[in-house]
Structure 1
Amino acid sequence: MVSFKARRSEPQLVPPARPTPRETKMLSDIDDQHLLRYYETVVGFFRTCPGRTDSPGDLKGAIKAALAEALVYYYPVAGRLREEAGGKLVVDCTAEGVVFVEADADVRLHEFGEPLLPPYPCLDELLCDPGDIKAVIGRPLLFMQ
């Protein structure tokens, strides 16, 4: 079983790269279910392209810049959930941004084994901590490490 320790930066907010509309978006009745009001954990692994010589710092900067660009077009993700009268959730498109934590670790993807399937070892090292996963009102919609 692989064991490693991630070195993390302090969490920072990444806002959209350019101004976005300031508006409110209603959630559908499906998205507004009380049972779905929590943060979902997703782990993705990505290999660098063969021949690339980017340093980890370059990759972190590129990911952060790409995230800021994506938030221009997916601007509601940079907003906050708000509860209106009657308990209906809306996304307040505030452009405050999403949480981004830069991290690196002294482990290689192949050390996780083949095939790469859950449960992943040291999962707590792969994820940034969003705190209470059921407290979604007024908080960033996305936490990314």
Structure 2
Amino acid sequence: MPSRFPRLPHSPRTAHALAGLLAGAGVAHAAVPRLFDQIVPRSLPGSPRTWTYLSGAAELGLAAAVAHPATRRLGGYAAAGLFVAVFPANVRMARDWRDRSAPLRAAAYGRLPLQAPLVWWALRVARDAER
């Protein structure tokens, strides 16, 4: 059955690049949590800082899972789920930043369509790990 996803070269570099992106995001959550606190949906219970640290820890854990061949398949699928789960925070950021400067607005709105390729990338990594 043909795949609906474009073919990528089967290479651990693709998975390692995704792991690097996830690790960088996880470190950023710890290094500059205030930026992430601002976009945590207020409908979530508890402190925004708690959600910031939890999501950063999840990204670091997923980075490790994607980087390791034995856990890459599960890590890829879980990363795709995380990218879908954080979409509401990106929507909130775009909505909250609509009165900011043009470059900040562009960054906030630019994040929205980037979620789809991130989901696709994570799914591709997971499916490549099945071979």
Q: Shorter-chain TM-score: what band?
A: under 0.3
Which structure carries more helix by proportion?
A: 2
Higher normalized contact order (CA 8 Å, seq sep 6+, divided by chain length): 1
TM superposition score normalised by structure 2? 0.27
- Answer 1 or 2: which has greater strand percent: 1
